[in-house]
Amino acid sequence: MELTSLYLPSESLSEMYRLSLVTLAVLVCSSSLVTGGKVLVFPVDGSHWINMKVIVEELHARGHEVTVLCPSDPWYIKGDSPFYKVININSPAGFDRDKFESYVIRTLDIRRQGASLWTRLSLVHDLMTQTYLMHKMVLQMVKVIFEDDKLMQSLHDANFDLVLTDPAFGGGVFLARRLGLPLVFNARWTIQGEGHEVIAPSPFSYVPITGSELSDKMTFIQRVKNILYYLFTCIQTWYVVRSNYKPFAHHHISSDVDYIELFQAADIWLMRNDFTFEFPRPTMPNVVYISGFQCKPSKPLPKDLEDFVQSSGEHGVIVMTMGTLVEKLPEDVTEDIAAAFAELPQKVIWRHKGKKPSTLGNNTLILDWLPQNDLLGHPKTRVFVAHGGTNGVQEAIYHGVPLVGLPLLFDQQDNFFRMASRGVAKVLDYGTVNKDIFLEALKEVLYEPSYMEKMKQLSSLHRDQPMKPLDQAMFWIEFVMRHKGAAHLRTESYKMSTIQYYSIDVIAFLLAVNLLVFACFSYVVKILCQKLCRSKVKKE
Amino acid sequence: MELTSLYLPSESLSEMYRLSLVTLAVLVCSSSLVTGGKVLVFPVDGSHWINMKVIVEELHARGHEVTVLCPSDPWYIKGDSPFYKVININSPAGFDRDKFESYVIRTLDIRRQGASLWTRLSLVHDLMTQTYLMHKMVLQMVKVIFEDDKLMQSLHDANFDLVLTDPAFGGGVFLARRLGLPLVFNARWTIQGEGHEVIAPSPFSYVPITGSELSDKMTFIQRVKNILYYLFTCIQTWYVVRSNYKPFAHHHISSDVDYIELFQAADIWLMRNDFTFEFPRPTMPNVVYISGFQCKPSKPLPKDLEDFVQSSGEHGVIVMTMGTLVEKLPEDVTEDIAAAFAELPQKVIWRHKGKKPSTLGNNTLILDWLPQNDLLGHPKTRVFVAHGGTNGVQEAIYHGVPLVGLPLLFDQQDNFFRMASRGVAKVLDYGTVNKDIFLEALKEVLYEPSYMEKMKQLSSLHRDQPMKPLDQAMFWIEFVMRHKGAAHLRTESYKMSTIQYYSIDVIAFLLAVNLLVFACFSYVVKILCQKLCRSKVKKE
């Protein structure tokens, strides 16, 4: 059959679904708009807010009322918005952005210039301390909320339908419990181990720990690495939970409440990935995969940018951005990158802040900001050079643009590993990248057709879903509103002890019974033998 | 917020989704109808065909061409249909329906009248033999297909897009492999263990084996039972696979092919349940839950039946059927049932073949056949008395009608256990049921409001899905057509050895390393101590 060929028809199919789902959304909204739902959002400030904001704005568009709890000195979160109401919390200790930024700069320097083992270890220690402080700060914010009787009363009186939170930090979990509200997560992954007890039982043999840069097909050594990585995350979790969340839960909720249990009791997990990004793995019925929920069809470019893009002719365009966290790359790197670009016949649009490289070619346009989504969706775009933030990678999948990766920090390397293992990205090492390496990688992705073909295939798989990811997110949030939770979709097995959960008691019991039966049988055989021997002796 | 109250609004929401999805379907069909897909169906004859037929007819309605492979002497499958083309296979040994029916009658007699342990064991043996013979018969049919070169050539030439099969028997699995086609399952559960290796890793502590009559919350003894039940299914699987499928795979596919692997390689599992029926459990991304896909809104009743129903006034109506497998219940049972019905103010519509009971009341209408779906969807229906076939139970959930259960055979008891554990059914023991017990159960479900309330809640949860179950089934079948499979959604972990899968080698390695480190450390400490002692002695 020739239902549809791979890419375009699936895209147009997807658009037809979209059309139909718009009708659907209108129909549903016409019902839910009557009174609208009320959502209390406990977000994670910083780049995580970029994702949460998309959901918040869509909730608003569907007639729900959104209230965002936000530190009094927010970072990415805007204090005034037509889409949501903000409650500022005067938390005593704010997040030290300068320290965080200095950590980022130090890390990049060390990756580039090398450093002693001691310095590298101190960097890990710094990261752990930063993380610890962030968790502490979030809990201090929750403490301020809990201790403000007037605020708590107003939150109770507001009759929220649910708490929506990013579980990277546990504040929203406590809030939902104290207010007795259903809990919806908007998560990419969590330090509580994501898949390994929290979501679904996930064998180490084929479910790689996020961040481990492993796939679902591992060699023996890789499987060893995966378990070691898991043990490391366990220590991290134990440290963070024990030092922060455990005492907080005991003090502010109840002395017999375990934080991990509160966490696992979430009604719905909106996971910011899917199986064009993640490797296939066990999951649970209350986990909804919404990768690419922030993606949308591209809009036309501004006239001057469109002219520039069109001037690339048959060679097409390369788009490059390094995200918002690292605004400036070191000069030696940007010089090399600019020089590499200059040798290509393609046109290049590069989001770059800082000094203009001296090696910049005529084909390269430097911009302070660029319409990333519209550029990625432009038919002339051939390659996306990116740092590997989840959003950028998922937008590349959505638009079917192969990647050249220059991962810098955190999960970026792991994100790119996923893409490279699917043959849709070439990944470079920030520590060693130079003009030649960069140029070679670009040429490979530009001129080896498999990159583009595989990315188009991946894109068509990603887009071919029964429902658009953002509509799915809305459906399940509204489901929780309608049914006051999603109890029938989530297991309560986390309430079991480890011994019960792994059936250790049952296996021990069955072994004991077996041993007993064997012992009795042996005893009977022995007695019979003895009697037989005696009667033989007597006869003799 | 008061988005919607529980039952009706959710139903109307669901209808709105439906409306929108019809638009969607039309849009999609307008594309897929152009050339249409080609589906090769290897069904399981008997009651399983009732489900498969729904999917086959819907595939036809969406413009796909369906070919059904069918024994030359079919049971439930009709040889001519406007919806599908039949290829009759002249398989040498047919299924002995008489033996099967005599097994059913013997089982029911024994449950009613009691029997010696020996007779009961012989019954288990009979069932095992019957099952064994069915598997053998299916494989003989596949053998005939494989050895018919002309047929095989025509199947190759037909360019099917996929094989759709019910994995209760493994014939379709072999066919898909030989034809090199993607594989879609339409499954309720399989003797290969359903969840315990085949789908997703499922801890015995909270995932009950289908048929065990256990829930997701078990006592110690129940957890022991669950593991014993699992071991029993393992033996059964081992016996059936080893004696039938293994030699067949080696002979007809390749000597190094394992049947279970072929089975696990299915692209999509359309599971005939969901989490209003099943307890929450781990699952995989390629498992789609389509419980209630056969359900549809009720149509108006024929005039005389509607008059009879309306005559029940405020008391409402009781509907009773015992399915198609057991057409006649023993006389003593039907006399008791009729007498119990006669004592109620409700009207009763009873699908009953055989002698009219002498105790029949004026309020009871006996019919040879009844429009089950239209009656269950009638607002006057108060209770559904059923045998517990999956279809009937799921229709009751769909229409929100509480149940009185009289399970007879197979998985019926287990299906009802699920309903009873949710408080929406009262279950009776066929072995001991009499007039008083039956009457009391009916009164309890009729007059204890919690049964109706909980069933309405369950129904509203079941209906509140992003997409109708049948549309979901179609979406994923068409997905497999569009992408020639669904490789990115299924794990290939089944290709690992048990030692690798459970990381036994890695754990042994890590323990060995630990031991070695410990031994080295001990040795060094020992040497140091000895040296220290010696120098002390010297000094002294």
Q: Which helix (H) or strand (E) holds A539?
A: helix A504-539
Distance from CA of B478 to the nearest CA of A (A): 9
Say if residues A404 and A387 touch (Cβ distance below 8 Å).
Answer: no
Residue A298 placed within a domain: no
| Predicted pLDDT of residue A92 | 65
Structure tokens at A368: 């302070």
Say if residues A390 and A416 touch (Cβ distance below 8 Å).
Answer: no
Of B19, B38, B203, the CB nearest to A27: B19
**Sheet arrangement for strand B38-42:** B85-89, B65-71, B38-42, B162-165, B183-187, B268-271, B287-289
Q: Which helix (H) or strand (E) holds A138?
A: helix A117-147
Are B402 and B516 members of one domain?
no
**A312 CA to centre of own chain:** 35
Of A216, A217, A482, the CB nearest to B4: A482
Are B411 and B516 members of one domain?
no
The two beta strands, A287-289 and A38-42, are unpaired
Distance from CA of A204 to the nearest CA of B (A): 7
Amino acid at position A343, single letter: E
Residue located via tokens 């699992």? B230
Residue B298 placed within a domain: no
Rounded to the nearest 10 degrees, the angle between the axes of helix A7-32 and helix A469-483 is 30
| Residue pLDDT tens, chain B, 540 long | 433 333 333 444 444 444 444 444 433 433 333 358 999 999 998 888 999 999 999 999 999 999 999 988 888 898 889 999 999 998 765 567 787 788 888 888 888 887 788 888 888 888 888 888 888 889 999 999 999 999 999 999 999 999 999 998 889 999 999 999 999 999 987 665 544 466 788 889 999 988 889 999 999 999 999 999 888 888 888 888 888 898 999 999 988 888 888 888 899 999 999 999 999 999 999 999 999 999 999 999 999 999 999 999 999 999 999 887 777 788 899 999 999 999 999 999 999 988 899 999 999 999 999 999 999 999 999 999 999 989 999 999 999 999 999 998 888 999 999 999 999 999 999 999 999 999 999 999 999 999 999 999 999 999 999 999 999 999 999 999 999 999 999 988 888 888 999 999 999 999 999 999 999 999 999 999 999 988 888 777
Are B21 and B169 members of one domain?
no
Residues in chain A within 8 Å Cβ distance of B277: none
Instruction: Judge: A491–B13 Cβ closer than 8 Å, yes or no.
Output: no
Rounded to the nearest 10 degrees, the angle between the axes of helix A449-463 and helix A435-447 is 70
| Predicted pLDDT of residue B110 | 85
Q: Is residue A8 left, alpha or beta, with left meaning phi > 0 and alpha meaning psi from -120 to 50?
A: alpha
Instruction: Judge: A461–B483 Cβ closer than 8 Å, yes or no.
Output: yes
**Chunked in runs of 10, what are the mean pLDDT values of chain A (540 residues)?**
36 43 40 68 90 96 95 85 93 70 84 82 82 87 94 96 94 95 90 59 89 92 93 83 87 87 92 93 93 94 96 96 80 94 96 91 94 96 95 95 93 93 96 95 97 97 95 97 95 88 94 95 93 83
Are B282 and B310 members of one domain?
no
Residue A478 placed within a domain: yes
Whole-Å CA distances, A504 to A132, A499, B220: 34, 5, 11
Cα separation, B126 vs B107, whole angstroms: 10
Are B393 and B490 members of one domain?
no
Phi, psi (rounded to 5 degrees) for A418: -60, -45
Are B143 and B53 members of one domain?
yes
Nearest-by-CA chain A residue for B513: A224
Say if residues A163 and A40 touch (Cβ distance below 8 Å).
Answer: yes
Q: Which residues pair with A404 in a beta bridge?
A: A385, A426
Cα dihedral B372, B168, A288, B162, rounded to 10, equals: -100
Structure tokens at A500: 């019960």
| Predicted pLDDT of residue B191 | 60
Residue B442 placed within a domain: yes
Q: Whole-angstrom distance between the N-terminal and C-terminal Cα of chain A?
A: 88
Residue A500 placed within a domain: no
Residues in chain A within 8 Å Cβ distance of B220: 505-506, 509
| CATH number of the CATH domain containing B226 | 3.40.50.2000
Q: Which helix (H) or strand (E) holds A39?
A: strand A38-42
Say if residues B390 and B405 touch (Cβ distance below 8 Å).
Answer: no
| Predicted pLDDT of residue B6 | 32
Are A396 and A472 members of one domain?
no
Structure tokens at A503: 């059936």
Distance from CA of A432 to the nearest CA of B (A): 33
Instruction: Judge: A283–B286 Cβ closer than 8 Å, yes or no.
Output: no
Tally of domains in chain A: 4
Residues in chain A within 8 Å Cβ distance of B475: 466
Are B52 and B185 members of one domain?
yes
Amino acid at position A34, single letter: V
Are B200 and B343 members of one domain?
no
Instruction: Judge: B36–A464 Cβ closer than 8 Å, yes or no.
Output: no
Are B261 and B331 members of one domain?
no
Nearest-by-CA chain A residue for B487: A280
Cα separation, A418 vs A280, whole angstroms: 12
Say if residues B489 and A280 touch (Cβ distance below 8 Å).
Answer: yes
Cα separation, A184 vs A73, whole angstroms: 25
Among A11, A13, A19, A24, pick the best mutation site for testing chain B contact (most B Cβ within 10 A). Answer: A24
Exposure pattern of A500-512 as b/e (b: 16+ CB <10 Å)?
Answer: bbebeebeebeee
Are A516 and A402 members of one domain?
no
Instruction: Judge: B200–A282 Cβ closer than 8 Å, yes or no.
Output: yes
| Predicted pLDDT of residue B26 | 37
Q: Predicted ipTM?
A: 0.89
| Predicted pLDDT of residue A392 | 93
Burial class (CB in 10 A: 0-12, 13-18, 19+), A402: buried
- B104-B108-B114 Cα angle (round to 5): 135
Name which of A466, A192, A12 is nearest B489 in CA terms. A466
Say if residues A136 and A244 touch (Cβ distance below 8 Å).
Answer: yes
Other Cβ atoms closer than 10 A to B447? 10
Q: For chain A, how big is the Rg over CA atoms in Å? A: 28
Of A217, A283, A492, the CB nearest to B284: A283
Residue B105 placed within a domain: yes
Structure tokens at A298: 């591209």
Are A307 and A436 members of one domain?
yes
Distance from CA of A284 to the nearest CA of B (A): 5
Residues in chain B within 8 Å Cβ distance of A224: 506, 509-510
Alpha-helical regions (H) of A204-302 = 220-240, 246-252, 259-264
Of A31, A161, A466, the CB nearest to B466: A466
Q: Is B340 helix (H, G, I), strand (E, B) or coil?
A: helix
- B441-B446-B449 Cα angle (round to 5): 115
Instruction: Judge: B10–A505 Cβ closer than 8 Å, yes or no.
Output: no
Distance from CA of B132 to the nearest CA of A (A): 29
Residue B388 placed within a domain: yes
Q: Which domain holds residue A13?
A: 1-30
Instruction: Judge: B3–A479 Cβ closer than 8 Å, yes or no.
Output: no
Q: What contacts B438, CB < 8 A, 6 or more positions away?
A: B336, B337, B340, B404, B428
Q: What is the pLDDT of residues A164-175, one digit of tens each?
A: 999 988 899 999
Distance from CA of B454 to the nearest CA of A (A): 13
Residues in chain A within 8 Å Cβ distance of B281: 284-285, 491
Residue A47 placed within a domain: yes
Q: Is A213 helix (H, G, I), strand (E, B) or coil?
A: coil
